[in-house]
Amino acid sequence: MNHNFTVEEVNLICIFAGESRSEVIEDIERALPYLDDSDMEELSHRTIGKLQNMTDEEFEQFEMIEAE
């Protein structure tokens, strides 16, 4: 299934890359209270939503290549 992650979303996932999809979600959620930028908050929430809508198997197959 294609979840159509944007470059920014992939980069955010790479920053919080963990052993599992749930770990990445938890790490992003843990950072939310410290964000003081509305764009980053929106990006984080959107990314969490997409991660929650995918399976662990899809996450394991997801190629996370951070863009420069």
Average pLDDT on 8-23 reads: 92
The single residue listed with the structure tokens 């394991």 is: 60
pLDDT of residue 38 exceeding 90, the answer is yes
Residue 10 burial (10 A CB sphere; 0-12, 13-18, 19+): middle
Number of alpha carbons in the 13 Å side-chain half-sphere of residue 57: 1
Task: Inform me whether the pLDDT recorded for 63 exceeds 80.
Answer: no
Indicate the pTM of the whole model: 0.87
Local structure of residue 20 (DSSP, 8 states): S
- Cα 64 to Cα 68: distance, rounded to the nearest angstrom: 13
Domain boundaries in the chain? 7-58
C-alpha 56/C-alpha 18 separation (Å) is 12
pLDDT value of residue 66: 61
Q: According to the model, what pLDDT value does residue 3 have?
A: 72
